[in-house]
Structure 1
Amino acid sequence: MPIYMDFHKIANVTIDDVKKAHMADEAIQDKYGVKYHQFWVNQENGSVFCLVEGPDKETCERVHQMAHGNLACALTEVEIGFYEKLMGKEHTVDNGHVKNNDGSEDLGYRNILIASVYGKTRAYGLTDLSQLQRPDWARKIIMQNIPAFNGRELGWEKDDSLIGVFHNATHAIQCALQIQQELIHFEQKQPEIIFKIGISASQPVTQNGDFFKEAIKLAHRLSVTVQDNQILISSLVKKLCRNEELLTKKSSLKFLNEKEEEFVSTLISIAEAKLADQQFDLNRLSNEVCVSRPQLYRKVMSLTGRSPIDFIRDLRMDKALTLLKQKRSNIAEIAYESGFNSSSYFTKCFAEKFGCTPSLFIKTDIA
């Protein structure tokens, strides 16, 4: 049967309250072919999340309604593999209440770390290009550190980014710092790379029924926004981090506030939707994000360390790199899809950023 998670907002909720409601669910659930497995409680903000198995949403909701009347604000179906990667399987359950193995309460928060890495080269032969397409030594460092800090790797189909999921915000930040330190150290002995790390956080289900997808999207946007070889962290991750010493590492970390996150999300959402439009310029961008051009320049420079023009060009380069790796189009088509109206200008920009021409890059057999 399908698996669902729901979200309740209950003022002054207590764990005992939810345990009683869970027992009421269990008392009648067999009659409806439903099984309420477990729940998470965040007493501080009045959030409750339930994991339930049933034939459909309506039947699951009916059990809640008949048992105690606490209807969910949102209920969404989840794919079991995706659920297990995000929520994990290593926990204890006390009368339905999910706890961490150390006995502490699992509030449901999960921290999402996304790391992107690509190589730079002055390639004159196809062998050199293997480091540009997939710097495996760097990816290995990232993948080794995720479980070392109690994280789980999550698959990602959009691009070559690597994702780690962490119960603990402190562990996520420590993992990012360790990755940063090792990549910078080992780069002295390896071909040059550029890496970017973004970290976001969320509870399992949002008011609109989203199950972590918005948190993953935000972490990806942070990894796109951050300056080369740096770490960008959302406001919620900062709030969840209990290690004050980590929060003072301003030379290695940058934290966003909620307004900055909103601006970044709006900026990238608009830019990504318009990347293929060669007529899309800063005037149109500033109009769509509702700021003046001087404000746009100040905000983008402050957040990304790049001018808006350079930032948009980098987004187009990242898209072009992904398209080149897919090898589904020729260079002229990729240039057009990435927002360049000239193949020669696209080639110039690509060579400046990655150190080789698109034509040489596309000749390799490395996916």
Structure 2
Amino acid sequence: MPIYMDLHIVPGVNAKDVAEAHRQDVYLEKDHSCKCLTYWVDEMRGHVFCLIDAPSKETVYELHNRSHGLVPHKIIEVQPDFVQSFLGRITDPSDAPLTDNGLLLIDETSYRMIMSVQLPDTVLLQHEAGTESAKKKVQQILEIIRNEITAKNGKEAIQEQHSIIGSFITAEKAVAAGLAIHRQLQQINSSCRISIHAGEPVTQHDKLFGETLQFLHRMHFIQRKEQVGISASVRELVAKELMHKTEEDLFSLSANDEQLLNALFNALEEKYSEADFQMDEYAQSLAMSQSQLYRKTTALTGYSPNDLLKEYRLAKAIERLRKGAQNITEITFDCGFNSPSYFTKCFKKKFGLLPITYQELL
């Protein structure tokens, strides 16, 4: 059966009440062909997350409704190994205390600091340095990243094709890992974009920590390779002493920066494939003049609005090239470029080789 994680928003919730509700779920689980695996409680935010083996989302909803009436606000399907890597467990913790009446009391938040380290593009590295040198460099980088995640009590949550994701319980450990990776990469004359954000496993996104991972991907677009990027929520949790000591190595976003970044990328994701779309047109929907949008976008990202659009289109193009399912002409128009020749010119200027050469090196 699939495994689901759900979110309950319960202001004023406490661990004892959740333990009692969980016991009621367990009592009725067989009636619904479910298995209640475990849960997490965040008393400060008033959020509860349940992990349930069930036939369907509808069954999860019905079980909770019948047991105690606290129905979920969101349910997503999850992979158990992802939950294990992000949160450290998929069953009840062995050290959870028992109350006098035998109730297992779990008081553990699922709020995590998530670090994303963007790996070098192996094709571009191979083009620059040769196949063997590229492999050696990537292995060095991977070893540094993994060693520091482990050394700072983190967990390697995901290794995507071009990034490694680490999960940490505390902001101090996450930032310390990011800084250690950054400094060690400098010692081997290398660099990666490193971004850290905080979040919960289930929000309105349909993937585990999906909202957090999406924002980290957006941070990479504006991240300076000579610094570690942290979000406003991470900065709030990091001790002032650590921030002061490492300020020159950190790039932090404000809440207003994050709001603008999300607004810009929401527009990019919706419109990038339209060749006649210009980011300047988006100013009105943000209640800004074109000059305000230009100034704020440039200050935040280092790109003008239209240059940011071009960078985004190129990033989407290289994703499509890696998949190998389309030819250059198809990718050109699907990514919003108005001609293959212009796309090729932009690609060569950005990456130092032709799109067809990139495709051949895959």
* Fold shared by both chains (TM-score > 0.5): yes
1:250 equivalent in structure 2? 247
Where structure 2 has 5 or more consecutive residues not aligned to the other structure, the ranges are 97-102
Alignment of structure 1 residues 146-161 onto 2, 5 Å:
146-155=149-158, 160-161=162-163
Structure 1 residues 330 and 121, CA, compared in 2 at 3 Å: closer, same or farther? closer
**Contact 1:121/1:356 (CA < 8 Å) preserved in 2?**
no
Secondary structure of 1:50's partner? strand
Structure 1 residues 351 and 20, CA, compared in 2 at 3 Å: closer, same or farther? same
Deviation at 1:37, TM superposition (A): 2.8
Secondary structure of 1:89's partner? coil
- Counterpart residue type for residue 148 of structure 1: A
- Counterpart residue type for residue 54 of structure 1: A
**Contact 2:203/2:211 (CA < 8 Å) preserved in 1?**
no
Deviation at 1:267, TM superposition (A): 0.7
1:35 equivalent in structure 2? 35
Deviation at 1:109, TM superposition (A): 0.7
Deviation at 1:208, TM superposition (A): 7.0
- Counterpart residue type for residue 199 of structure 1: I
Secondary structure of 1:201's partner? strand
- Counterpart residue type for residue 351 of structure 2: F
Deviation at 1:182, TM superposition (A): 1.7
1:213 equivalent in structure 2? 210
Question: How far apart, in 2, do the equivalents of 1:126 and 1:286 lie?
Answer: 39
**Contact 1:198/1:232 (CA < 8 Å) preserved in 2?**
yes
- Counterpart residue type for residue 222 of structure 1: M
2:100 equivalent in structure 1? none
1:19 equivalent in structure 2? 19
- Counterpart residue type for residue 118 of structure 1: P
Question: How far apart, in 2, do the equivalents of 1:166 and 1:236 lie?
Answer: 14
Question: How far apart, in 2, do the equivalents of 1:360 and 1:57 lie?
Answer: 46
Deviation at 1:288, TM superposition (A): 4.6
1:165 equivalent in structure 2? 167
**Contact 1:15/1:41 (CA < 8 Å) preserved in 2?**
yes
Secondary structure of 1:107's partner? coil
Question: How far apart, in 1, do the equivalents of 2:83 and 2:123 lie?
Answer: 39
1:180 equivalent in alignment to 2:182: yes
Q: Deviations over 1:168-209 (max 9, x none)?
A: 22222222112211222211xxxxx66322222222222677
**Contact 1:225/1:264 (CA < 8 Å) preserved in 2?**
no
Count of residue correspondences: 351
RMSD: 3.3
Secondary structure of 2:25's partner? helix
Structure 1 residues 170 and 133, CA, compared in 2 at 3 Å: closer, same or farther? same
Deviation at 1:41, TM superposition (A): 1.6
Question: How far apart, in 2, do the equivalents of 1:45 and 1:143 lie?
Answer: 31
1:128 equivalent in alignment to 2:129: yes
**Contact 1:323/1:334 (CA < 8 Å) preserved in 2?**
yes
Deviation at 1:264, TM superposition (A): 0.9
Question: How far apart, in 2, do the equivalents of 1:122 and 1:333 lie?
Answer: 22
**Contact 1:22/1:96 (CA < 8 Å) preserved in 2?**
no
- Counterpart residue type for residue 258 of structure 1: A
2:231 equivalent in structure 1? 234
Structure 1 residues 312 and 231, CA, compared in 2 at 3 Å: closer, same or farther? farther
RCO (CA 8 Å, sep 6+): is it higher in 1 or 2?
A: 1
2:46 equivalent in structure 1? 46
1:267 equivalent in structure 2? 264
Secondary structure of 1:346's partner? helix
Structure 1 residues 279 and 62, CA, compared in 2 at 3 Å: closer, same or farther? closer
TM-score normalised by structure 2 residue count: 0.82
1:72 equivalent in structure 2? 72
Deviation at 1:293, TM superposition (A): 1.5
2:99 equivalent in structure 1? none
TM-score normalised by structure 1 residue count: 0.81
Q: Deviations over 1:217-259 (max 9, x none)?
A: 1111111222344332222222343x33333333222222333
Q: Deviations over 1:323-347 (max 9, x none)?
A: 3334444444444444333444434
Deviation at 1:121, TM superposition (A): 11
**Contact 1:74/1:207 (CA < 8 Å) preserved in 2?**
yes
Secondary structure of 2:270's partner? helix
Structure 1 residues 339 and 251, CA, compared in 2 at 3 Å: closer, same or farther? farther
Question: How far apart, in 1, do the equivalents of 2:63 and 2:124 lie?
Answer: 64
1:282 equivalent in structure 2? 279
Q: Deviations over 1:283-329 (max 9, x none)?
A: 22334544222111221122122322332232233233333334444
Structure 1 residues 57 and 132, CA, compared in 2 at 3 Å: closer, same or farther? same
Secondary structure of 2:166's partner? strand
Aligned-pair identity in percent equals 32
Q: Deviations over 1:41-89 (max 9, x none)?
A: 2222222222223334444444434443333333333232332222222
Question: How far apart, in 2, do the equivalents of 1:329 and 1:208 lie?
Answer: 28
Alignment of structure 1 residues 314-329 onto 2, 5 Å:
314-329=311-326
1:339 equivalent in alignment to 2:336: yes
**Contact 1:270/1:288 (CA < 8 Å) preserved in 2?**
no
